[in-house]
């Protein structure tokens, strides 16, 4: 499963990229606003750090303007992936862009039917939001199971990009189900390494090593 960071914070992206764990980055208008930086500048900087897809979202709601915005965005770098909403105009834009060889991430997916439409429109990625489903009392991972089954039934090439990931269990369940990608805040990705027994093991090793009075360097 590929790991994308859901952030526009350059320092966090560089930190994760240095681990070799980062396969791409997703951004959205809210994350860009939170960074307090110019949209085009921060997107270009992210693309220079990460070799994989960097999702940059259009803000228009009509097909014609989406296409104009996409034309600007895809000139930023070769690894820009245009992010469009799961609407009729978004799907129309998706079809036009992917037919022209541009990567497209269809976002705000909340049902298997929507995911089916995204695949038929040729989406490179579809982003089902599991955390927002959980917020409304529905198991968001059931949506991932539905999409995996639908896509496998028809051999769709669209990759399932699990979004709105809130905690490490979302990541584990996504991997168990067979999602292609998950995107999460850097803090969630870093939390994957944590385990109380690992911490205790390191503590014990360090205590024993200190007793030897030795040094490696």
Residues annotated as catalytic (active site), given as ranges: 83
Burial class (CB in 10 A: 0-12, 13-18, 19+), 96: middle
The Cα 69–Cα 101 span in angstroms is 16
Angstrom CA distances, 71 to 11, 80, 81, stand at 28, 11, 11
State the DSSP string of 12-58.
HHHHHHTTT---EEE--HHHHHHHTS-HHHHHHHHHHH-SS-EEEE-
């Amino acid at each position: 499963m590929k790991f994308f960071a859901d952030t526009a914070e350059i320092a966090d992206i560089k930190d994760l990229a240095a681990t070799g764990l980062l396969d791409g980055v997703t951004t959205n208008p809210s994350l860009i606003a939170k960074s307090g930086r110019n949209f085009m500048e921060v997107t270009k900087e992210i693309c220079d750090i990460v070799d994989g897809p960097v999702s940059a979202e259009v803000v228009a709601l009509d097909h014609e303007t989406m296409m104009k915005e996409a034309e600007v965005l895809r000139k930023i770098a070769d690894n820009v992936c245009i992010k469009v909403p799961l609407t009729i105009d978004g799907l129309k834009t998706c079809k036009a862009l992917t037919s022209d060889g541009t990567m497209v991430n269809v976002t705000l997916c909340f049902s298997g039917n929507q995911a089916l439409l995204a695949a038929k429109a040729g989406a490179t990625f579809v982003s089902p939001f599991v955390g927002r489903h959980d917020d409304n009392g529905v198991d968001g991972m059931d949506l991932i199971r539905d999409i995996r089954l639908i896509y496998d039934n028809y051999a769709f090439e669209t990759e399932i990009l699990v979004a709105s990931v809130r905690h490490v269990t979302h990541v584990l369940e996504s991997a168990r189900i067979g999602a292609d990608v998950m995107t999460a805040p850097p803090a969630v990705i870093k939390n994957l390494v944590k385990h109380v027994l690992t911490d205790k093991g390191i503590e014990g090793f360090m205590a024993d090593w200190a007793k030897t009075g030795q040094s490696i360097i």
